[in-house]
Amino acid sequence: MLAELKPQTKFLVYDLVSQAGVDTSDWANYARPTVPASNPKYCYNWSFEGVDRAVVCLWFAEMKHEGGVTFQCLNYREIAASRRHWNASQRKRAAGMDHAIQLSRNRRLPIRVIVVDGSRRSDADDESRSHVERRTLDPEPWHVAAYDDDGNCRLQRGPWPPPAETFTPVEIAAAGSFAEGAKVEITAQIRERCQRLRELARAHFAKRSIDGRLHCAVCDWAPPPSFALTGPIVEIHHGLGIGEYPADGRALTFEEAIQHLTPLCPNCHRIAHAKPGGGTFTLDELKRGVKSSVSTTAV
């Protein structure tokens, strides 16, 4: 079974990535005179992310075939973090591998595998280099069969299995129908936040940031710059409770007011207000909590 995957020819990475259905038009954007196929920004990478698929390079020698399935177990997150003797671009490639695998897992994207064969760089020896002698594209897609919190993963040959059932047809029938979209009238007294202050705060925090854009103070997210939007997505969080203000409000100078304002992306803002028992999480609490949920390792 495995023998049929053993590459017999050395095809170009560029050709195999194109063949796998990932757009390679950007490879032509290179300052020095060169052919797109040898653009060093791409051709040495071990993984490539397309809109609806990922492409990863896997060593043939590390593939296994057991119980009727072909698979490979790997942990490029650990490799990126632990091989301090590797140079920065190699660790970046390892982190990129892990990113492509996580992306495939999160979005159930098919993985196309470039099977490589040759001599692999040893884990410990600083001087040795990997040398690819043969390289082909597996015509079958692969999927992520397992991925744990530590980045240990198992890639398996074959398409993604259908997603798990959530509700049985009986449960769906029992849930009946849902009325949505009816008009209702509401009357409520709300505390007004000053819109002008919010706008000034947005401009203040954007001016302070490195790229002039408004970023979330917790996770650093900012909307994609090239994307036309109807309005700002990053929100201004008021750290000062207004419940206890007098009914006609309270006048604050800009310097006083800005102390209590924080730019937050909608996700972090939602979390800020989801503190059990009421109140809001502090900025430090948010930063600690959000950081621990990020699993990729920066190199």
Footprint of Zn ion on this chain (CB under 5 A)? Answer: 216, 218-219, 221, 237, 265, 268
- Is residue 221 within 8 Å of residue 265, measured between CB atoms? yes
Sheet holding 47-49, edge to edge: 47-49, 54-59, 111-119, 131-147, 153-157, 69-74, 64-66
For Zn ion, the closer CB: 161 or 239: 239
- Is residue 100 within 8 Å of residue 51, measured between CB atoms? no
- Is residue 10 within 8 Å of residue 134, measured between CB atoms? yes
For Zn ion, the closer CB: 64 or 193: 193
For Zn ion, the closer CB: 43 or 197: 197
Strand partners, 14: none
3-state secondary structure of 212: coil
Q: How far is the CB of 268 from Zn ion (least distance, A)?
A: 3
What CA–CA distance (Å, rounded) separates 141 from 61?
Answer: 19
> Taking Cα atoms as reference points, which of 36, 67, 42 lies closest to residue 57?
42
Q: How far is the CB of 267 from Zn ion (least distance, A)?
A: 5
For Zn ion, the closer CB: 5 or 264: 264
- Is residue 60 within 8 Å of residue 6, measured between CB atoms? yes
Q: How far is the CB of 105 from Zn ion (least distance, A)?
A: 22
For Zn ion, the closer CB: 119 or 267: 267
Q: How far is the CB of 217 from Zn ion (least distance, A)?
A: 8
Give the CA distances from residue 175 to residues 14, 171, 182, in Å, rounded to whole numbers and listed in that order.
51, 6, 19
For Zn ion, the closer CB: 109 or 268: 268
Q: How far is the CB of 273 from Zn ion (least distance, A)?
A: 6
